[in-house]
Structure 1
Amino acid sequence: MSSTASQTKRKSMLSGDIVKQAIVQSFLKLNPVTMMKNPVMFVVEIGTFIVLLMTVLPGYFGTQDRIGFNLTVFLILLFTVLFANFAEALAEGRGKAQADSLKKSKQEIQANKVVGSGIKVVPSTELRKGDIVTVAQGEMIPGDGEVIEGLASVDESAITGESAPVIKEAGGDFSSVTGGTRVVSDAIRVRITSDPGESFIDRMISLVEGASRQKTPNEIALNTLLITLTLIFLIVVVTLKPIAGFVNVELDTAVLIALLVCLIPTTIGALLSAIGIAGMDRVTQFNVLAMSGKAVEAAGDINTIILDKTGTITFGNRMASEFIPVGGASTGEAATWAAVSSVKDETPEGRSVLELMKKQNLVYEASLAEGGEFIDFKAETRMSGIDLKDGRKVRKGAVDAVVRWVQEQGGTVPADLKANGDAIATEGGTPLAVAVDGKIYGLIYLKDTVKPGMKERFDTLRQMGIKTIMCTGDNPLTAATIAKEAGVDGFIAESKPEDKIAVIRKEQAEGKLVAMTGDGTNDAPALAQADVGLAMNSGTIAAKEAANMVDLDSDPSKIIEVVGIGKQLLMTRGALTTFSIANDIAKYFAIIPAMFMLAIPQMEALNIMKLGSPLSAVLSALIFNAVIIPLLIPLAMKGVKYRPMSSTKLLSRNLFVYGLGGVVVPFIGIKIIDLVVHVWI
C-alpha cells in the first residue's frame, strides 16, 4: 500500500463517527445475551442490576439509610460495564470502517459471460464457479478468477491502495485476478473461481468486521483462567459475610458486590476481546488479510522463517555491479562503452549500468550517443546497443552472441574473455560483453542485489530468537555469497519445492513454529505445511488458498513485519494481564484491612495506605477500577511497543514494568481518590 493511502486509512480509523457508534454500541451491548460472551463482565452486570434493585427498592432490602451509597455504587458499576463495552465496540468499529471502504469496491458489475460461441451480458451475482468471462480495457473484473487467455494490465488500487497497475497473464504465478479490480489495457479471458458471497472481498469484509473472528486457543485459555479467578474471588467474598458477622462487622450486599468487582480481573476481562480485535485490525491496516486470529498469534510465536531469495531478500533484477576490462583495455574504456550502449536502454539492467557509473564516479561523453540509432534487445540476437552517427556500432549482450557479432565484423576475441566470463558465471552472476565494431572492451558483471536494510532486519529477527533460512535455485557458491551478504542464518541452494516442505517439517519436528512466503502453485504445499503461510495477492489461487495470510501489496519481505505484529499482540495481552492481576492483588491488600480495622484494631497496622474509612476505601477502589479501563483502552488499541529481545529479557521487563506498575499504580490512585471521597462522604 502506498504511504498516502496507508495514512488516510489510519486517519479514518480514529474518526469521530467511530467513537459515536462505539458509545451507542456500549449501551446496546448491555443485553445480557451479549454480555454472557464475556463471563467476567457479565458477573459485574449482574452485580450492577442487584445494586440497582437495592437503590430503587430500599424497603425490600432494608437499605433505606444507604440509598445515596447504593446509587453511587450503581453508577460506578454501570460505567465499569459501559467502559468495557466501549473498548470492544471501538475495536469492532475500526474493523467495520475498513469493511465499509471495501464494500464501496464491491458493486453490481455487468459480466460478459461466454456461452457457447457467443457472449451473454449478465449481472456478476449470477456468475458461478467455473463460468468463463471476457474482460476488456476499462471494464471491471466481475469476480475472483484465473486468467486462462490473454495478458492485461490491471488496476488493483481498490483492494491494495497501490496506484501502479500490475500485469496479469495466463499461466505462471501471476494469473490470479480479484473481483472489483479494473482492466486498464488489453483484454483477458477469466475463469471464475468462487461463487457469490465467497469471493476474496467478501471474506475480507467478513473478517475485518469481526463476523468471522473466533477466539484463539490462547484467548480461550486466558478466558478460562479469568473465569476461574472470578469464581475463587466470588467464593472469598461470599465467605466474608459470615466472617464479618463473627467479628461484629456489618457488611451489606452493596459493599460485598463492590468488593467483588474490585477483586475479580475486570481490567483484563474488559479489554481482552478488544486486544484480540485490535491485533487483527493492525494486521489489516498493514494490508495483510489474516484468515484467523490464530494465524496472527502463531506469527508472534514463530521460531523459524523460510524466505525465497528472489524478490524477498534480493530485488530479483540482475543489476550491474562491476566493469571488468579484457584484451588490454582499461576499466574506464570498458565502463565508457558500457554506458554509451545503455544511454537509451530503459531495462533495469541498462539503468543499473548508468547508476554504477555514478556510484564509482566514472564519467563518459554522453554526447557520443546523441543522434545515434538505438538497437533494441531481441531474443534472436540476444544483444542491444546503438549505432553512432559517426558510423561506429556499439553492442552489449550475451558473451557468445557478442563474440559472433565481433567475428562477423572481422574482429578477434580477447584471450582472457572466456576466463573472466566463466568466473562471473561460476559465482552465479551474468556476464554481458561490450564491443565496439570489431573489438571487445570488457564485461559487465550483473548480479542480483540484496535489498537495502535486509541485514539489519535479519539481525533484529535474530534478537527475537528467530532463525532465518533462505531458499534459492542458485548454485551453492552463489547462495553462500548472497546468504553472507544478507545475514541469514542458513540457506538451501538449488532448492526445489519439496526441499521447502522438508525443511519446514524438520523444524516443526524439533518443536518449532515455522513461517514462509510464496506466490506460486509450487509453493502451495509448503504454505499449507507452515504454521504461518503468507501468500502474495499477485500469486496463484492455489497459493492463496493454501496460506492463512494474504499480503495485498505482494511484498514477500512483509512476513518480517507480520511476525512483529504477532509478537506485539501477544505482548500486549500478556502485559495487560500482568497489570490487571497485579491490580487485583494490590486492591485486595488495600481494601480488606480498611474494612475490618474498626472491629479488629490490630489490622490498622496493615492499613498502610491510611484510608479514611471502610466505605471510602470501597468507593475509592471501585472508582479506580472503573477509571483504569478507559485509561488503558488506547494501549489495548495501539498495542504495547515491541522491542526485539530474548524471551527471558522480555518476561523480566514485563514483570517489572507491568507487574510492579500494576501493584504501585492502584496504591497511589486509590489513596488520591480516597482523599476526595472521604471528605465527600
Structure 2
Amino acid sequence: MSERHEHTTHPTHAHDEHTHPDEAGHDLHGQHDAPMGHEDHAGHEGHGGHEGHGGHAGHGDHVGQFRRLFWIMLALAVPVIGFSGMFASILGYPLPDAAWVAWISPVLGTVMYVWGGRPFLTGAVSELKARKPGMMLLIALAITVAFLASWGASLGILHHELDFWWELALLIVIMLLGHWIEMRSLAQTSSALESLAALLPDEAERLDPRTGDVVTVAPSELVVGDLVIVRPGGRVPADGVVTEGTADVDESMITGESHAVARGPGDPVVAGTVATDTAIRVRISAVGEDTALAGIRRLVAEAQNSTSRAQRLADTAAGWLFWFALGAAVLTAVAWTLLGQPDDAVIRTITVLVIACPHALGLAIPLVVAIATERAAKGGVLVKDRLALESMRTVSAVLFDKTGTLTRGEPVVTHVAPVAPHSEQEVLALAAAAESDSEHPLARAIVQAADGQGLAVPRAGEFRASPAEGVSAVVDGRTVSVGGPAMLERHGRQALDATSAWREEGAIILHVLADGEVVGALALADEIRPESREAVDALRVLGVQVVMITGDAEAVAQSVAAELGIDRVFAGVRPEHKAAKVAELQAEGHRVAMVGDGVNDAPALAQADVGIAIGAGTDVAIASAGVILASDDPRSVLSVIELSRASYRKMKQNLWWAAGYNLVSVPLAAGVLAPIGFVMPMAVGAILMSLSTIVVAVNAQFLRRLDLSPEVSARAVLRREPEGMSPASAAAA
C-alpha cells in the first residue's frame, strides 16, 4: 500500500472527487473491502403455481395479481357464503324463499373456483408434473372436491350436507390472502448483475491515433490497443496499462484494498476503478467479457446459480398432509363401504378431503414472514429474501468485511508525534493549515482532527500540491509541507523513530516540515466503529465464530483484529479468493454469514449461506444480498439472528397448530370414533378450522413485541450465558 500523500494539481477538477461519492468517496487511501451479496436468492423454490406467472422474475407482478384477485374474490365470497344453505343452517338464520336464491352460491362459487382457484389449480399441475406434492396440490384437491360435491348437493345428486359452497369461498379467499402476503414478502429489487454493469462509465474519451483528437465513445466500442484519457474522478472504462501520467487509483470496489494505489506508466488499471486526483492515459488491454469486472460478474452468477435452495417448511408440511389426507380418505371410503353404508362413505370421504386443507396452514408461514419483515424494517433490517432470514438462525460463523463494516471506511488522525520544542497541538494546527485548501480525504481527516480539538488553525497561502509528494503552503511566513517518504527524500530528512511502530500497524504516515525541517509526524488509519467490539462480543456469547476478511495488508488487518478481539483473520485477499475463503469455512462445517458493503466481495456474499449488506454500501451489495442493514451498525447482525430465531419459533408453533388441526380433525371426520357413537359434524369441523386460523394469526402478532434496535439486541445477548463455547472462550468473551 502506498504511504504517499497525493493531491490534485488541477483546482478546476477539485470538485471531481465529490461528483461521484460512490466512486471517489474512498479516494487515495480511502476504503472499501466492498462486499456484494448473497444470491439475490435467485429463485426461492416458489409454489408451482407461480411458474405460470413468469417465475422468479415476476414476483413484482405476483404481488399485484394476488392483491387484485384477493379483493375481487372477497367481494364474491360475501354473497356465496351468505346465501349458502349449509352455512345458514350452521348459524341458524333463514334464507329468502325465492327460487333464484338457491343459485347464487353455485353460480358465483363456480366463478370463484375457475377464476380465484386458477393459481392453485395450475400450481397443482406443476407439482404433479414434478412429482412433488405440496401446498398447491393440497389446496387444489380441497377446492376441487368442495366444488364437485357442492354442485352434487345443489343438483340433489349428493346429500345436502355436502353443500360446501361457503367452505370453497373461504378456502379460496384465505389462501389468496396468504399468497398475496407471501409474494409481497418475496418481491425482489434490481439484479446484482445489472448493478455491476453500472460501475462502468457511460462514456470513454478515446484518442484518435491519426489526429490525436479526443473522441467520446461508449465503452463497448473500445478495442484492445485503444488509448483513452481518464480524468480526475473518472472511471477507467476497460482494463489497460497506464502510458502517461501518475494518479492514485481507488481500486476498493475491485480489490478491497482500503488505500488508493499509485499507478504510473507501465502499471495496470482495472475497469470500474477511479482515478482520484490527476488525469492518466491508458492503453486498453482487455474489453468486454475479458475484463476483471466481467470476471467478478461471472463468479457472482455462478455462485447464485449453484446455491442450494431450501425447501419451504409449509410446503414440506403440506406434502406430508397431502399423503395423510389421501390415505385417510381412501381408508374412510373403504371402511364405510365395508360397513354397508355407501352413502356415509361418500359424505365422510368428501368431508375428509375438504377438511384436509386447513386455512391456517396457508397463513402459518406468510403471516410470520410479513410481520417479521415489518418488525425488521423498523429495526433497520431489510429482509429481501425469506430463505436468508430463515437460514440466519443456523449460522455458526460470521465473516465481516473490514473496511466500511467493522471500520468507518474513512481515515482519521490516530497519533501525533511532535519534535521539540513543538507541541502536538502546534504540529496538528500547522498540518491543518497547509491542508485546508485540499479536497483530499487525508486532508479532510487532518482538518477535522484540528477542528475536533478546537485548535486555532492559522491562514495559509501559496498552496501547492504535488501528486508525487504531498502539499505545501506558506503559514505565518514559514513554508509548511505535509507528505510522505518522497517529500522527506527530497528534503534530505529522515522519518521520526516514533513512526516505525505506526508502520507496523499499517497506518498512513505523513511528516510535517516547516522551512525544510521536520517538526512532527501524523499517523492516520481507518477508524474502527465503536459498536464493532460490542457486536463481536455478543456474537461470541451466541457461540458464533467471528472472522474478518479484508483486501488490506496483514499488518492493518491484525491491528484491527487485535483491538476488536477477533481471533481469525483473512488478510490481503482478492475478490476471487474471498469466495474461496467462505467455501473454506463451509468445508469446516460452518454455516457462514458474510457481512460487507461494496462490490468486490460479491462472489463471497453469493457463496455464503447468508449475504448481509451494509445499507451504506454500494447498489450492487444491496441488490444481491438476502438481508440489508439500513444502518452501518455491525450490531444489527445480532438483530438479524434474534429475528431469525424468533420467527422460526413462531413458524414452528404455527405449523404445529395448523397441522395439529388436521391430525385431530381428519380422523374424527373420517369417523374413527364412530364405534363409540361419535362422528364429528361438518359444523364442528368448520369451527375448529376457524379457530386454528385465529390461533395462528394471533400467535404471529407476538413478533411485533420484539425490539430489534441494534443496541437492545446486542445488550440483551451480552446478558446471557454463552452458548456452545468452551470455558476458555466464554471467559474471553
TM-score by length of 2: 0.56
Q: Within 2, Cα distance between the matches of 1:192 and 1:287?
A: 34
> Is residue 622 from structure 1 mapped to residue 700 from structure 2 by the alignment?
no
- In the other structure, the counterpart of 1:346 is 439
Quick one: structure 1 residues 267 and 474, their matched pair in 2 at CA, closer, same or farther if it must change by over 3 Å? same
Cα shift readout 1:18-48 (whole Å, capped 9, x = no counterpart): 6644537855414445554363342332332
Cα shift readout 1:152-177 (whole Å, capped 9, x = no counterpart): 9xxxxxxxxxxxxx99x999786249
Quick one: structure 1 residues 636 and 251, their matched pair in 2 at CA, closer, same or farther if it must change by over 3 Å? farther
User: Aligned-pair distance for 1:513?
Assistant: 2.8
Q: Within 2, Cα distance between the matches of 1:351 and 1:466?
A: 38
State the secondary structure of the residue aligned to 2:522. Answer: strand
Bigger Cα displacement from structure 2, 350-359 vs 311-320:
311-320
Q: Within 2, Cα distance between the matches of 1:310 and 1:341?
A: 28
> Is residue 232 from structure 1 mapped to residue 299 from structure 2 by the alignment?
no
Quick one: structure 1 residues 222 and 552, their matched pair in 2 at CA, closer, same or farther if it must change by over 3 Å? closer
State the secondary structure of the residue aligned to 2:653. Answer: helix
Bigger Cα displacement from structure 2, 583-592 vs 432-441:
583-592
Match of 1:45 among 137, 140, 145: 140
Q: Within 1, Cα distance between the matches of 2:221 and 2:629?
A: 27
- In the other structure, the counterpart of 2:419 is 326
Q: Within 2, Cα distance between the matches of 1:634 and 1:149?
A: 59
1:316-465 aligned within 5 A: 316-361=409-454, 363-364=455-456, 366=457, 368-369=458-459, 372-379=461-468, 382-388=469-475, 391-398=477-484, 401-402=487-488, 405=491, 418-437=496-515, 439-465=517-543
1:34-113 aligned within 5 A: 36-37=126-127, 39-58=134-153, 62-63=157-158, 65-66=160-161, 69-88=163-182, 90-91=184-185, 94-95=187-188
Q: Within 2, Cα distance between the matches of 1:524 and 1:78?
A: 41
1:11-30 aligned within 5 A: 20-21=67-68, 23=70, 26-30=116-120
Q: Give the residue type in structure 2 aligned to 1:431.
A: I
Quick one: structure 1 residues 578 and 260, their matched pair in 2 at CA, closer, same or farther if it must change by over 3 Å? farther
User: Aligned-pair distance for 1:641?
Assistant: 7.2
User: Aligned-pair distance for 1:434?
Assistant: 1.9
Q: Within 2, Cα distance between the matches of 1:553 and 1:50?
A: 44
Quick one: structure 1 residues 201 and 481, their matched pair in 2 at CA, closer, same or farther if it must change by over 3 Å? closer
User: Aligned-pair distance for 1:80?
Assistant: 4.3
> Is residue 578 from structure 1 mapped to residue 578 from structure 2 by the alignment?
no
Q: Within 2, Cα distance between the matches of 1:51 and 1:525?
A: 50
1:403-552 aligned within 5 A: 405=491, 418-437=496-515, 439-471=517-549, 479-492=557-570, 504=582, 507-516=585-594, 549=624
CA contact 1:320–1:447 (8 Å) conserved in 2: yes
State the secondary structure of the residue aligned to 1:394. Answer: strand
Q: Give the residue type in structure 1 aligned to 2:566.
A: V
CA contact 1:262–1:621 (8 Å) conserved in 2: no
User: Aligned-pair distance for 1:599?
Assistant: 6.5
Q: Within 1, Cα distance between the matches of 2:579 and 2:673?
A: 70
State the secondary structure of the residue aligned to 1:219. Answer: coil
Q: Within 1, Cα distance between the matches of 2:205 and 2:477?
A: 56
Cα shift readout 1:566-623 (whole Å, capped 9, x = no counterpart): 986686466324312233325654787799799677979xxxxxxxx83431221234
Bigger Cα displacement from structure 2, 82-91 vs 430-439:
82-91
The runs of 5 or more residues in structure 1 that have no matched partner are: 3-11, 138-143, 153-165, 178-184, 408-412, 605-612, 653-681
Q: Within 2, Cα distance between the matches of 1:504 and 1:229?
A: 38
Quick one: structure 1 residues 498 and 49, their matched pair in 2 at CA, closer, same or farther if it must change by over 3 Å? closer
User: Aligned-pair distance for 1:252?
Assistant: 6.3
1:104-253 aligned within 5 A: 146=238, 148=240, 175-176=271-272, 191-193=287-289, 217-219=309-311, 223-240=315-332, 251=344, 253=346
User: Aligned-pair distance for 1:219?
Assistant: 0.7
The runs of 5 or more residues in structure 2 that have no matched partner are: 1-19, 22-58, 73-114, 128-132, 231-235, 248-259, 274-278, 724-733
User: Aligned-pair distance for 1:400?
Assistant: 6.9
Q: Within 2, Cα distance between the matches of 1:552 and 1:584?
A: 30
Quick one: structure 1 residues 570 and 376, their matched pair in 2 at CA, closer, same or farther if it must change by over 3 Å? same
State the secondary structure of the residue aligned to 1:319. Answer: strand
CA contact 1:83–1:630 (8 Å) conserved in 2: no
Q: Within 2, Cα distance between the matches of 1:134 and 1:630?
A: 65
Q: Give the residue type in structure 2 aligned to 1:231.
A: W
TM-score by length of 1: 0.60
State the secondary structure of the residue aligned to 2:569. Answer: strand
State the secondary structure of the residue aligned to 2:169. Answer: helix
Number of aligned residue pairs: give it: 573
CA contact 1:270–1:629 (8 Å) conserved in 2: yes
Q: Within 1, Cα distance between the matches of 2:484 and 2:296?
A: 43
Quick one: structure 1 residues 88 and 312, their matched pair in 2 at CA, closer, same or farther if it must change by over 3 Å? closer
Q: Give the residue type in structure 2 aligned to 1:192.
A: G
CA contact 1:41–1:269 (8 Å) conserved in 2: no
CA contact 1:39–1:227 (8 Å) conserved in 2: yes
Q: Give the residue type in structure 2 aligned to 1:234.
A: L
State the secondary structure of the residue aligned to 1:418. Answer: coil
CA contact 1:216–1:294 (8 Å) conserved in 2: no
> Is residue 309 from structure 1 mapped to residue 396 from structure 2 by the alignment?
no
Cα shift readout 1:303-353 (whole Å, capped 9, x = no counterpart): 223444344433454421232222232233223323322322322222222
CA contact 1:317–1:449 (8 Å) conserved in 2: yes
Cα shift readout 1:632-664 (whole Å, capped 9, x = no counterpart): 999999999796799xx99x9xxxxxxxxxxxx
Quick one: structure 1 residues 147 and 534, their matched pair in 2 at CA, closer, same or farther if it must change by over 3 Å? farther
Quick one: structure 1 residues 525 and 30, their matched pair in 2 at CA, closer, same or farther if it must change by over 3 Å? closer
- In the other structure, the counterpart of 1:182 is none
Q: Within 2, Cα distance between the matches of 1:187 and 1:378?
A: 16
CA contact 1:569–1:639 (8 Å) conserved in 2: no
Cα shift readout 1:64-104 (whole Å, capped 9, x = no counterpart): 5437x433333333434444554455456x44x868xx99x
Q: Within 2, Cα distance between the matches of 1:341 and 1:88?
A: 59
